[in-house]
Structure 1
Amino acid sequence: MAPSYSPAPLALPQPAGSGASAGPVRREGFELPAHTSSVSRARSRLSGQLRRWGFPEELGHTALLVISEFVTNAVLHTDSGRIGCNIQLDGQRLRIEVTDEGTERCVPRARSAAPEEVGGRGLQLVGALTERWGVSAGDTPCGRKVWAELGTC
């Protein structure tokens, strides 16, 4: 499943001319069981890490919505036993990734929900609140990765 990263900031070399921001790339990774209680655990882990990194609180609320949506979808719409969560902050961008054991035939898509429907709007919100998001099916050994990126400014 997803690798676990050290909570300490990691300085990673950037390719010349990559346009990457100066400073270290910071990463954190963790795994959770594919259970509804893991949604709040993922939010708590993300919130704590963003505080330690000094991430702007206002943007942190958006990040919490994103990880909630991704973990909820992994729990409800796949047969996963474990869910991996990875976050990366490079000074200009926060990237949130959630991996699950889902198959390519069940790729998350934003949809239009009818006014009376309770659910079905989460990925529309993710699309509206993030710079970009997507799905990488088959990108992980056991399933797919759903990711989103938020600007830090």
Structure 2
Amino acid sequence: MASSYPLAQLSSPAPSAVPAEEARQEGFELPAHTSSVARARARLRSRLQHWGLTEELGHTAQLVISEFVTNALLHTDTVRIRCRIQLEGERLRIEVSDEGTQNCAPQPRSATEDEVNGRGLQLVGALAQRWGVTARGARCGRVVWAELGISSVL
């Protein structure tokens, strides 16, 4: 079962200051298990519907969170994954943090025609206004984040 966690635990570039009533956010934690990819998508979809955002934006955001959670599962030794979504003005920010001990950041790669995997971060780069990785310190994992414009998704 997903549990809530204090949002202040995530370290990432601070968004611009906006009055609290204009910013909406939610954080949740999931175990490092393959079923958590679908759970993260469902939780995100539910929150975006609650906030009254478009289905198109929901599909794009679900692709992003799926990629980030899958990468945390496949490429780190984390035991839990934290997700944070924040709507501020015309921007939706999605963050996924892990507790991995590796000192590497996810990097887009060029997949060959025959490869099944390897295009996810290229898709994120094409869909997001900005995305990046913030280290949380030595042996403390990282936060992978993306920002989607809520009016730019058609």
TM-score by length of 1: 0.84
Shift of 1:55: 1.0
- Structural RMSD (CA): 2.2
Partner of 2:12: none
For 1:91 and 1:70, locate their aligned partners in 2 and report how far apart those are by CA, in whole Å: 23
Of 90, 109, 130, the residue aligned with 2:88 is: 90
2:25 to 24, 27, 34: 27
Of 121-130 and 103-112, deviating more is: 103-112
1:10 alignment counterpart: none
Distance 1:141 1:56 in 2: 38
Structure 2 segments unaligned to the other structure (5+ residues): 8-15
Structure 1 unaligned spans of 5+: 6-13
Query: Cα gap change, 1:149/1:55 in structure 2, threshold over 3 Å: closer, same or farther?
Result: same
Give yes or no for contact 1:85–1:97 (8 Å, CA) kept in 2. Answer: yes
Aligned length: 140
Q: Which residue number in structure 2 is paired with residue 43 of structure 1? A: 41
Q: Distance in 2 between matches of 1:60 and 1:84?
A: 19
Alignment-derived partner of residue 71 in structure 1? 69
Of 22-31 and 82-91, more deviation after overlay is shown by 22-31
Identity across the alignment (%): 65
Q: In the TM superposition, what are the counterparts of 1:46-61 in structure 2 within 5 Å? A: 46-61=44-59
Q: CA separation in 2, counterparts of 1:55 and 1:141?
A: 37
Deviates more, 1:21-30 or 1:60-69: 21-30
Paired AA for residue 3 in structure 1:
Y
